[in-house]
Each structure stands twice: as structure tokens, then as C-alpha cells.
Amino acid sequence: MNAPDRKAALQGMGDSRLRKEDARFIQGKGNYVDDIKLPGMLHMDIVRSPLAHARIKKINKEKALAIPGVIAVLTADDLKPLKLHWMPTLAGDVAAVLADEKVHFQMQEVAVVIAEDRYIAADGVEAVEVEYEELPVVIDPFKALEKDAPVLREDLAGKTEGAHGKRYHHNHIFTWDAGDKEATDAAFKNAPVTVSEKLLYPRVHPCPLETCGTVASFDPIRGELTTYITSQAPHIVRTVVSMLSGIPESKVRIVSPDIGGGFGNKVGIYPGYVCAIVSSIVLGRPVKWIEDRIENLSSTAFARDYHMTGELAATAEGKILGLRAHVIADHGAFDACADPTKFPAGLFHICSGSYDIPAAHCTVEGVYTNKAPGGVAYRCSFRVTEAVYLIERMVDVLAQKLNMDKAEIRKKNFIRKEQFPYTSAFGFEYDSGDYDTALDKVLNAVDYKGLRAEQAAKRADPNCPTLMGIGLVTFTEVVGAGPSKICDILGVGMFDSCEIRVHPTGSAIARMGTITQGQGHQTTYAQIIATELGIPSEVIQVEEGDTSTAPYGLGTYGSRSTPVAGAAIAMAARKIHAKAKKLAAHLLEVGENDLEWEIDRFKVKGNAEKFKTMTEIAWAAYNKPPAGMEPGLEAVHYYDPPNFTFPFGAYLCVVDIDKGTGETKIRRFYALDDCGTRINPMIIEGQIHGGLTEGFAVAMGQLLSFDAQGNIQGNSLMDYFLPTSVETPHWETDFTVTPSPHHPIGAKGVAESPHVGSIPTFTSAMVDAFAHLGVTHLEMPHTAFKIWKELKAHGLTH
Amino acid sequence: MSKKIISMNVNGKKVEEAVESRTLLVHFLREKMNLTGAHIGCETSHCGACTVDIDGESVKSCTCFAVQCEGSEVITVEGLAQGGVLHAVQEGFYKEHGLQCGFCTPGMLTRAYRFLHDNPNPTEEEIRVGMSGNLCRCTGYQNIVKAVQYAANKLREDAKNPVAA
Amino acid sequence: MIPPSFDYHCPKTVSEAIELLTKFGDEAKILAGGHSLLPMMKLRFAEPANLIDLNKIPELRGIKEEAGVIKIGAMTTENQVLFSELLLKKVPLLPEAAKLIADPQVRNRGTIGGDIAHGDPANDHPAIAMALDAIFVLQGPKGQRKVKAVDFFHGTYMTALAEDEILVSIEVSPFAPKTGYAYHKLKRKTGDWATAAAAVVMQMSGGKVTHIAIGLTNVAPTALRASAAEKLMVGKEITPALLDQVAESVRSICDPAEDLRGDAEYKTAMAGEMTRRAITAAMAHC
């Protein structure tokens, strides 16, 4: 076979090869947590609070326990002796496992029922009687900070220091800031132009199609705990479970099997998991807990709820001089956010975006309210969704103030290609970028000038039945958490890992510390190894998720798999490659310097007939290693990234708003992404489609709201907007390639970019449709109802 | 809770089991028949992940009691491949990258199977309407449309050139 | 997610079904398509001790024309309505509207009778039946009786059906040639209930309206027939000014429940807008 054919046969990096994992999914043989059945398995269901804030006066288990098949009913009192009625959160707070004397949010877990089957468990839940005494409810985070606001966290009474510094109010969690306040204040003081806008990023929820669940199985004879769990971070779960239960980590096995979508909803440790594990330990039988959809939307990690104020200072020509951002962050009743420990507001300080802004400062204040805990989730890259929303909206607001075109103002402020690596005013060192090329490519592809001309014509026509809007976003995001000196989860550095073993007959198995939830790791990881080692990806088995076999890793979220684990894979492969070279030299009886690598073999320089393929080398590794060399052909690498990576993109959206109903048609959405080296273009495109669709749903219809009594609204699929194939627009995707200079294969990670970038693009388009009427911002979600109200306010309806 | 004996054909095989009246078909299939392809994504009959084929119609198996299927012909995703050969819809989803996490996939496949049976030459719009009872969070549907188009083409080609049994 | 226990009954005839209804009274619920009832049972909002399944009663199925009347069995599914050649030819409003109800799977089980008998103002067929001047055939222990669609809906979940009666069929007249029709339904997504919807049936002659019927969905405790708006149109040419008046009249009778789809102002305005668009679309057939 000639070289190009050999390369194609590898189906390595750059190849849009079909996925290796599909076979089981298309035949209904996936292995999701609810598919797991163990002998003697019991089922657990949860009694939840109907009230948002109340004292628990009494819990009556009798009727439930009288139902045949109900084995046990547990409350906080039953967990107290084990000191498990509260648990530490990933954000340095504590959260109730089962409500201890009071409930803090509607749908909070109050008791669990364990029964022989899930039908009886449900009957048991209905039969548990709980008496409550209502307390005043706080839903508004601003009201929560008022002097005489009700006290939510009685358990924190008197604690004036939280995990992130001083607490100045009983409902205050932390104040965090970044940047240079003095320099920023000075920039604003002296600036010819300033703009300010309030920007709410409403509460939404990742809503993966598979809800959360677990099968916990404690073997009392071996003293070993095995837990199958919907987790994006199984090793962290193992460490935490060991710490909470006292069982040595070596006797705890956590398995994340096939996971039906994560999107950040499956990072945290939920009370349901803890109760199932405790029940299994106490009862000595496996216990399964699978939540239903309403439970998922009401009690698991929500996303956003950031009340932001953005400000820009600029010259009259539109050059940005300073950025200021202030955020009230509504975290719900407990701060359970999965952020790297030192960052209670995640990576929000990426909010200077793609722009060369000399002075910037941001402040985030976390607040408790009577809502479910969370905030960091939903493809947000640790609050990057909020940050990008803020800066992209503010750039539009500034453009509007100065009557400048939105593309023009961006080009004026872009960090130039020559400035990379670029240190932002917030201290991020952006690895690489070429924003001008990306934007120009998009503007040309859609005929931007033509679109603006069409819009002008439509605005001039009073009989036009629609308002046309053009949205534009040029985002930079920060992913791949992260360097362990600044990024840790509960003290564990955010490195990741890979172990590769090549078998005697030339195929290989590899395991990593991440866990796919649909991103295609079994294929893309194999492709990296295929290119590095010259073994076809088809025969490279990739396994993740079983903590008993996979090397320690921090899991998959924040688009960190390719930047961190992908790097570990390359580095581990290169260790094998180096050993293989020594073996090849030995077999060919030449020096290492006489060899060159070509696709799948080491060749002797100048003598193409003399070569050894990786397959031949593998065999030799197991029976003919040279003196002083260990047999075998394997390596492990733990990769501590030197930096984050900074994927970027340019998105453009055209909308047509029906003046009669307020409905919006997405006429066109053009998404150009730069994620550096592209491992599998087909998989990248699929991820982009998915992220754009989620972004569309968030911007145009998703919302979890609360009434004054703290009743959650819209928490079922009857109302929570998940678009079908009919509503979902057609997506046009494009790309540029600007590799990351610090990454072994130059790859940056991509899957959150379309979510992060598309949401402000939709808002940009909607506002653009009304901009000629003086509208500078419209709050999400841009439902027909809200848009019609706006139309009415401008006299555009009948 | 007295049980009833019901019998039906599942993927061509007769089955007979005792169930409660309230046992949902999806639980019957997943727990009694060990056919865990059909998945549960909601409890309000919206997501379609539980879709199976009952007497020639696509039905959400979470919204039907097993007792209602007495004597019925039920096809699940596990019954689509014949003699080890994937059905055209399965091949289409594989070739066109119509799945990512795989959770919605069995429902999509059993629905696409019936949809193409009823409409062998659909337009893109008809595909989007025809598949609108199945939600997906990963793919954005674009490749699912391509997958169904692939399957439609393959089924029409196969009909023209039937392979000898 | 898990329904409570119940006793299951599967009658083979309408008489059997009525006997069971009479026997169990308010301890029984009818199981038709089940796509309103089962979600309620799974959320434990409904806990009937008995379910009477109508799905195996042949008399309740089928669409036929008899003595110039189109008779639709109550257990006819939405998809059967959608694909009915007879309805497409003779009462095309029904297949067109069925496309806008639920989703393909739900339409295989959801029935026209269930959609009507439930008395849910959010359902589509009540307003459509009103616009068609449909007649509902009810059957109880004492036999059959007929009730006009416009007289059938008394309040939210309250209809003319007695506790021991079943809706057995819906009777409509075939359309005269050049009858205009349309169902315009504003909804947030496929499968959602209407934010507001309007069903229109009309005839014109010499450029003027000779017959007009307007039914409104989900903008009041029951479906509404917009009679006052209709009176404004009879004998008139359809002009933009007339459409404005009609929309205003429609709005004046609306009393929608506020929810996440919109407040009263929006839903009311949309009832007017859907009516306007439905009339405009219906005109194309006249």
C-alpha cells in the first residue's frame, strides 16, 4: 500500500470516520444506569417538599412501612448517626442530604423509601406523611440581601467567613472579584463615552434526555462498594464517597456506564446518590434510584441565574477603554456549584472576550434563595456562557450608542493575530487566535452587506409583516480546566490521564480519566492514538468510566476532554513511540538517528526497503526486547496542562419576527468555529449542531421561573422548551484552524462553544430587529409572548 | 394487587407474563422482557424515547398499559435487525452520524422504521414533521434527517433489487 | 412516574361499557387514547379505582357517510382523521386541523371523542366541532341522545355527558362546494396546546359572506363560538376594516387562563389574530 492509502487505513486524526460506539446504541444494547439489574436489587424513591421554605414538624412513616414490599423509610434523623444528613459541596458549602428540621426549596429531598420494586416505592412515597410549618419565602436575590430578609441558612448562623472569604449578610455567600478596580475606575472616569446595560441570564436547566440515577451495591462480605452512576466525574465521586463513608478508596468502585447526555447536569453529587449508597450499605443489597423528569428539572444542577450589569468605556471612535461587570449570582439554597475551588464564579473573568481591553474589573456576589442549588451547568465552561453573553451584548450596546456597525466595532477592538499569546486585563493568557479571518469569512459567506440592505428596505416599508434582525457574535471562550496550580476540585488538581497498552499482535487498549456522554471519545481518542502510533483506530479499544481500571482523572465537562485528556493521550502515545523507536533500531540493527517515522512504521533513512511497522515492533516488544529493556509496550501519562485553551468563533444569525404574533423564524444561522486541530470533522459538526440547538432553546424559550411562594414553574416537558425537529433551525457550519501552541496536538476542545456563542447571537439578532426603534436589549427567553409585548409597546401590533 | 396474565408477540416471538393492570408497557418491555432499548426520558409523554411499534403504529410505550397490548404485535429496536443484518434505518443513523449519546436513538429508530413504511419517499419537511414526536438533546436533528433520507434511499434501492433470501 | 393501582375492564360493546360505567359511577374513568389520562395518573393527579378501556369496541370506530351525514366514531384516532379520504373530500377542516394536534405517535392513540369528552378548554376539537355545527351522539343506559356541539361544553372539565354516558360518535354535514375552512393555531412548539386558536368555516356568494362559523380554542373556560363576530360578517364583503371589527369582537368574548404561554392580554389578542388569519386562509377556498 502506498503512503496515502496507509494513512487512510489508520483512520486517524482528521478523518471523518464513523463512530466505533454506534453498534450497541443502534441495536438497543446500550448500558445506561437504568438498564442495570443486579440480583436482589431494591428500588428507592424520594419524598419531596411541596413548600419552598418551611420547618418540618413531623414525619410519619407508618403508613408507608405498612405497605407490603416497602423495606425502609429514611429521614435526616436516620442519617444523623452516620453524620451524613449534610454533605460538603464542591463549592465549599454544605448541602442537606435529607432535609434536617427545615426545607429550603420546593422539591427538596425529605425522606427516601426503599422497596422491592419501583412501583411499590412510588406507593410508599405517596404514603409518607410530613407536617410542615411554613416560613417566609425569598425568591428574589436582591430582596434576599435586604437587611430584614428572612434567614435561609440557619445552619450558618454566626459564620461570617465562608469558603471564599467574608460573608456580610446572612444570605450572602461570597464576593469575588478580578481585574484592576483602580485602573478601570480611572478609565471610566476619563472616557468620552460610557454605556451601561442590565443583563439577566435567566435560570435554565441542561435537561439531558437521560435523568440522573444510580445503582449502589455494597457487598457486605467483601466490604466493597460498587456504584453505577450517571456521573461526568467518576473518580471525584469515588474520592468523595470514600471520604464520606469511611470505606477505603481501594474498596470503592464507581462506574459511569453509558450516559445519556450530561451537559453539566451530572457532575455534582446528589442526595439521591448518597441515600442509595447509604441504603445499600445498611441493607446489604443493591439499591437503584432513578429520578423522573420533574425531579430532574426541579432539584438537580440548574444553570445561570446571573443578574449582571455590564459597562463599557470607550473613545468616540469606538475603541474600548474599559470594562466593568457586576453580578448578583443566585445560587439557590446551597452553593453546590462544580467550579474549580479557587473560582466561585468559575471563569467569568473571560468576559473581556475577543477584545483588547486595557482596563477591566468584575465583581460577583453569591446569594442564597429558596430555590434548588446550582448555577454552573449546561455547557457553560464554568460561567463562560454568562461572560460571553455580557461582553457580546455590551459591544452591541456600544455600537448602537455610537451608530457603528456591529462588525466594524468588533474589528476595531479585536486582539490582533500578532498579539498572541495575549494576556488579558484579567490575567488570562490566550494561547492563539485569528478573529479577523474568522469574522471576514462569515461576513462574506452570508453577504452581510446584502443583508443590511435588505433590512433597510424592510424597515422603510410600513406594510412589511416582519421585523428583520441580524445578530453577530465573535466569541472567545476558555476551556480545558486546568493547570493544577490554579485549578482543583476539592483539592485534587485538574490534570487528566491516559494509559495505553499495545498488545503483542498490534491492537491496543487505552483508558482515560474522562467520561464521554455522547462526545464520541471511543472514536476520537482512538484516532489520536492511531496517528501517534500508526495503529488503525479500528483496533484501538477505548475505555472510560470504571474507576477500578481507568487512571485518575477529573472527568468530562467544561470542554476539557480534548485539551487535557487528549494531551495526556498524545503524551502517553509518545512514550510508547519512543520505546518503539528503540526497539525498531534494535531490530533493524541501526542507530535511532538512522530512523525516520512514516505513518505506521520506522524506516531506515535512505533505505525504504528496511522498515519495521508498529505491529512488528509490538510483537518484538513481548519476546525480543534488547538487553536492559523491559518487555511490553505500554505507557501512562498524567497531563497537567500549562494553560487553558481558547477556542473562538464568529456566528451570524438572521431572524424574521412576525409582527402579528411575536413569533420568530430563524432564517439563517452561520456558525464558524475554530477549535484548533480537528480530530474528527464529522463529530465536531455534530457537536456544533447540538450546541446550537441547545442555544436556540435557551435563547428562545427555556426558563425555570418561580412564583412568590417559591413554587417552581415550567418544570416538566409540557412547558420546558425542548425544540422538536420541526422548530429546530437548519445550521450552517464552517471553520478555521488556529492550533493551540501549548497543546501536544494543537487541539482546543469545541463542544461548548456553539452553546456559549449562539445564545448571545440570538439576542443580538432579536435586539437588532428593534434597534431602529431605540431598543438596546431584550431579556431572554425571546418567546412570542415577550416579543409581542415589545411590539405592542412600539405600536407595531394591530 | 392481583396480576393478570397477558400474551403478545414481541419482535416476532410470543410471550406470556403476569402483570399488574398498572404496569406500563415500557416497564413490561424493559424489566420483564429485558429489552432495555426503549428508554424513559420523561413522565408526561413528550420525549418519545420510549417509542415502539404496536400493530403497525408508532406508540409511546410509557403511555400505554401492558394489559392494553393483549394479542398485539410489538416491535422494539431489538427487533429491527433481521438475521444479523441491520435495518436500513440503523445503517442510516450509523452512516450519517445521527446519534451521539444514543439515549433517544431506539425511539428514533422504531419511529423512523414506521415512518418510512408509511411514507417511503419523504421530503425533508415531511421527515421533520414525521419525527417530531421524538426529542433529541445532542444532535440538533440535522443528521437525523440525513439518516432517515439515507434509509429511505436504501429501502427504495433494495425494493428495486431484492436480495435473494 | 408510576400510576396507582386500578382494576382494568375491557368491554367489547358499547352496552357493556355503559353497564360498567353505571356500576362503578365516579370510581371509574374511561380510557380512550389515554394520552391525557395516563400522564395525570402517572403524576398521581388522578387515581381512578377502575379504568374502562374503549379501545376494543369496534362500534366506536370508523368514519362513514350515511344519508348525507358524515358519522365519525368517537374512538377514531387523530391519525385516522388526518388520513381519512372521506374527510379529506367532504370535511377537509378536520384532517387539516388534526395535523396541528399533538405529535405523530400521540395521534395514533389520541381520539377525537376523547379530545371532546374530556371538556378541556385546551383541546382543539371542541372549537372545531362548534365551527362545523357538529352534533354529538351520546349513549347511556336509557339509549342514545344527540347534543349540539355548541350546547355540549358547560365549563372546564364539565360537559353535557352524564356520569353513565359515553360519547359514541360525532356527526357533521359534508361541505358544500367552495366552502372555505381553516384552523389557525398559535403554539410554542409541536405538541403544545394552543396559546390561542381559531377554526373557521365559511361560504361566500357574489363576494359577500353567506355563512360563517368561528370556533375559538383555549381562550376561555370552554371552547367558544364567536357568534357576535359572525353576525358582523354575514352579508358583507371582507375588508381589512371588517377584519379589524371581527378581531375586536372575538377579543371581547375571551377570558383566557394566564400561564407560561401568555397573559390574558396576549392570548386575547392572539385569539383575534388567529381568527383574522383563519378567515383570510378560508377565503382562498371560497
Q: Quick check: helix, strand or coil at residue A363?
A: strand
Q: Domain extents for chain B?
A: 4-78, 88-160
Where helices occur in A268-355 by DSSP H, the ranges are 271-283, 293-299
Q: How confident is the model at residue C231 (pLDDT cuts 50, 70, 90)?
A: very high
CATH code of C13's domain: 3.30.43.10
Q: Do the domain assignments include residue C74?
A: yes
Domain B88-160 has CATH 1.10.150.120: yes
CATH code of C83's domain: 3.30.465.10
Q: Do the domain assignments include residue C2?
A: no
One-letter amino acid of A85:
H
Q: What pLDDT is recorded for position B1?
A: 60
Same domain (yes/no): C136, C95? yes
Same domain (yes/no): C39, C77? no
Domain end (from C127, C145, C172): C172
Q: HSE (CB half, 13 Å, CA atoms) of A194?
A: 14
Residue A189: phi, psi to the nearest 5? Answer: -60, -40
Q: Do the domain assignments include residue C270?
A: yes
Q: How confident is the model at residue C97 (pLDDT cuts 50, 70, 90)?
A: very high
The answer to whether A798 contacts C270, with C-beta atoms less than 8 Å apart, is no
**Topology of A302-481+644-793 in CATH?**
Aldehyde Oxidoreductase; domain 4 (3.30.365)
Instruction: Reply yes or no: is the peptide bond before residue A220 cis, omega within 30 of 0.
Output: no
The answer to whether C34 contacts B133, with C-beta atoms less than 8 Å apart, is no
First to last CA, chain C: 49
Nearest-by-CA chain A residue for B48: A209
The answer to whether A785 contacts C244, with C-beta atoms less than 8 Å apart, is no
B85/A contact by beta carbon, under 8 A: no
Task: Tally Cβ neighbours within 10 Å of residue A356.
Answer: 16
Residue C106, domain extent: 61-172
Strands (E), chain B: 4-10, 13-19, 51-54, 57-60, 73-75
**Size of chain B, expressed as the number of residues it contains:** 165
Q: What pLDDT is recorded for position B164?
A: 58
Where helices occur in C43-171 by DSSP H, the ranges are 78-82, 85-90, 93-98, 106-109, 112-117, 125-131, 149-152
**Residues A578-593 pLDDT 10s:** 999 999 999 999 999 9
Are A36 and A282 a contacting pair, CB within 8 Å? no
Domain A36-135+211-259+266-299 has CATH 1.20.120.80: no
Q: Which of A548, A547, A505, A553 is nearest to A525 (CA)?
A: A553
CA distances from A201 to A196, A514, A527, A589, A652 (A): 16, 29, 38, 65, 20
Same fold: A36-135+211-259+266-299 with A302-481+644-793 = no
> Nearest C-alpha of chain A: how many angstroms from C173?
33
Are A481 and A350 a contacting pair, CB within 8 Å? no
- In angstroms, rounded to a whole number, what is the distance separating the alpha carbons of residues A209 and A722? 10
Task: Give CA A35 to chain center in angstroms.
Answer: 25
Q: What pLDDT is recorded for position A608?
A: 86
The answer to whether B60 contacts C105, with C-beta atoms less than 8 Å apart, is yes
Nearest-by-CA chain C residue for B64: C34
Nearest-by-CA chain B residue for A290: B40
Q: Quick check: helix, strand or coil at residue B6?
A: strand
**Size of chain A, expressed as the number of residues it contains:** 798
CA distances from A154 to A53, A54, A157, A170, A532 (A): 12, 12, 5, 9, 56
Residue where the block lists cell 452587506: A449
Partner residue facing C1 (CB), from A122, A724, A726? A122
- In angstroms, rounded to a whole number, what is the distance separating the alpha carbons of residues B58 and B111? 6
**Residues B11-53 pLDDT 10s:** 999 999 999 999 999 999 999 999 999 999 999 999 999 999 9
Number of domains in chain C: 3
Which residues 6+ apart lie within 8 Å of C110 measured at CB?
C33, C35, C77, C78, C101, C102
CA distances from A39 to A71, A258, A546 (A): 16, 20, 20
- In angstroms, rounded to a whole number, what is the distance separating the alpha carbons of residues A265 and A307? 21
The answer to whether C1 contacts B40, with C-beta atoms less than 8 Å apart, is yes
Q: How confident is the model at residue B162 (pLDDT cuts 50, 70, 90)?
A: confident
Q: Which residues of chain A have pLDDT under 70?
A: none
- In angstroms, rounded to a whole number, what is the distance separating the alpha carbons of residues C225 and C227? 6
Q: Mean pLDDT of all residues in chain B?
A: 96
The correct CATH number of A3-30+495-639 out of 3.90.76.10, 3.40.50.720, 3.30.43.10, 3.30.365.10 is 3.30.365.10
Q: Best residue in A693, A702, A785 to probe C by mutation, most C CBs within 10 Å? A: A785
Residue where the block lists cell 534488547: A626
Q: Do the domain assignments include residue C1?
A: no
Partner residue facing A686 (CB), from B34, B41, B143? B143
Same domain (yes/no): C103, C160? yes
Q: Mean pLDDT of all residues in chain C?
A: 97
Residue A68, judged by CB atoms within 10 A of its CB (0-12, 13-18, 19+), counts as: exposed
Are C182 and C282 a contacting pair, CB within 8 Å? yes
> Nearest C-alpha of chain A: how many angstroms from C57?
30
Same domain (yes/no): C245, C273? yes
Domain end (from C172, C198, C215): C172
Q: Quick check: helix, strand or coil at residue C262?
A: strand
Same domain (yes/no): C240, C167? no
The answer to whether B138 contacts A24, with C-beta atoms less than 8 Å apart, is no
Q: What pLDDT is recorded for position C136?
A: 98
CATH code of C230's domain: 3.30.390.50
B145/A contact by beta carbon, under 8 A: yes
- Count chain A–chain B contacts defined by CB atoms under 8 A: 178
Same fold: B4-78 with B88-160 = no
Does residue B161 surpass a pLDDT of 90?
no
> Nearest C-alpha of chain C: how many angstroms from B156?
23
Q: What is the CATH number of domain B4-78?
A: 3.10.20.30
Partner residue facing C260 (CB), from A714, A723, A792? A714
CA distances from C262 to A60, A789, B5, C123, C256 (A): 40, 10, 48, 17, 9
Q: Which chains does chain B touch, 3 or more C-beta pairs < 8 A?
A: A, C
Same domain (yes/no): C218, C134? no
Residue where the block lists cell 445552619: A155
Same domain (yes/no): C93, C166? yes
Same domain (yes/no): C147, C244? no
Q: Which of A227, A316, A310 is nearest to A270 (CA)?
A: A227
One-letter amino acid of A566:
G
**Which residues of A are designated catalytic?**
232, 379-380, 752
DSSP one-letter code for B28: I
Where helices occur in A369-429 by DSSP H, the ranges are 384-401, 406-413
Domain end (from C120, C140, C172): C172
Nearest-by-CA chain C residue for B59: C105
Q: Which chains does chain A touch, 3 or more C-beta pairs < 8 A?
A: B, C
What DSSP element (H or E) covers A456?
helix A448-460
Q: How confident is the model at residue B2 (pLDDT cuts 50, 70, 90)?
A: confident
Same domain (yes/no): C161, C187? no
